[in-house]
Amino acid sequence: MPEPTWTQTPVVTKKAVPDGLWTQCPECEETIFCKSLEANLMVCPKCDHHMRVSARRRIEQLLDPGTFEALDADMAPLDPLGFVDQKAYIDRIKDMQLKTGENDGVQTGTGFIKGRKVVVGVMDFTFMAGSMGSVVGERLTRAIEYATDHSLPLVIVCCSGGARMQESGFSLMQMAKTSAVLARFDDAGGLYIAVLADPTTGGVTASYAMLGDVIFAEPKALIGFAGPRVIQQTIRQELPPGFQTAEFLQKAGFLDRIVHRSALRTEISRIIDYSGK
C-alpha cells in the first residue's frame, strides 16, 4: 500500500496597509482614499466638508500651474519680547519651521488665475494656527503695496486663529497697518477679493478679512471675532443655529457669496473681468 503524500499548506502573510493611503473625514467620518481626496481639492466626496489645506496646497489649487512667484519668502519672525509660556516663543517658531518647511504663517506672491495676473496672500493654518504676527502683517502689507504699484488685483485667502499672542502689541499693530495700506490700495482704484476659509477669527476678521471689495467664503467656514463659547458665556444666552458659519453671515449681509472650492478660480476670474482690472 503506497504511503500517503503530505503537502505543506503555504502560510499566507497578511500585508499591512501602508501609512498615508487613507484618511478619515472629520465631519462624516467617511474613510477616503488620499489620492481621490487630493483630486477633489481636499473636499469630502460624501458630505462636501471643506478640509483645511496648507498655503502651498492652496496656491496649487488656486493659481495656474507654474505661475506663482513668491514675494519676501525669506522673511522670518523674531522674538522681540522674549516671550515664554510653557515654551519659549523662539523655540515654537523653530519647531514650526521644521514641521512645516515654512518661515511663517502666510505665503505672498504673484501668479495667474485663468490667465489673469494677480497678487495673492494665502494664510497657512498649519503654522501656529495661521496666527498673525509681525511677519504675517509685513508680508501682506508689502504684497498690497506691490499690487498698488503695479495696478494688479489682490486676492487674500484668510485662514487664521487671529492675532499671535506671543507678539502682543506687535501683533495687534498689524491690524491697523494692513487696514491702512488697504485704504491706500482702494484710493488707487485697486480690486481686493477676500476669501474666508475655515476658520477666520480674531484680529484677522477685525481687519483685512472684512475689507474686501468682494468677500467670498467657503461653505460652513467658521467666521467671527470671539469664539461662540466665549460669546455665549458673556451674554448668557443661547446662540442661534449655525451662528458664525459662512451661511449665517451671508444672511446677515457680511458676505457676498459662498463659493465651493471647485468654483473658486472661476468666480475670482469673473469678478476680475467684471471689474475691468
Q: Per residue in 87-122, pLDDT tens?
A: 999 999 999 999 999 999 999 999 999 999 999 999
| Same-domain check for residues 114 and 242 | yes
Measured distance CA(209)–CA(218) in Å, rounded: 13
Measured distance CA(161)–CA(130) in Å, rounded: 6
Quote the percentage of the chain above a pLDDT of 90.
Answer: 86
Measured distance CA(39)–CA(223) in Å, rounded: 26
Say how many domains are in the chain. 2
- DSSP E strand stretches across 114-250: 116-123, 154-160, 192-200, 214-217
| Same-domain check for residues 181 and 203 | yes
Is the confidence at residue 267, as pLDDT, over 70? yes
Its domain, for residue 148, covers 52-275
| Same-domain check for residues 207 and 170 | yes
Strand order in the sheet with 69-70: 69-70, 106-113, 116-123, 154-160, 192-200, 214-217, 257-258
Is the confidence at residue 7, as pLDDT, over 80? no
Average pLDDT across the chain, whole number: 93
| Same-domain check for residues 108 and 134 | yes
Quote the percentage of the chain above a pLDDT of 70.
Answer: 93
- Report yes or no on 8 lying in a domain: no
Supply 272's cell numbers.
476680475
What is the CATH number for 67? 3.90.226.10
- Report yes or no on 255 lying in a domain: yes
- As a whole number, mean pLDDT of residues 151-168 equals 97
Please report which confidence band the pLDDT of residue 71 belongs to, taking 50, 70 and 90 as the band edges.
very high
- Residues 199-212 pLDDT 10s: 999 999 999 999 99
Buried b (16+ CB within 10 A) or exposed e, 200-226: bbbbbbbbbbbbbbbbbbbbbbbbbbe
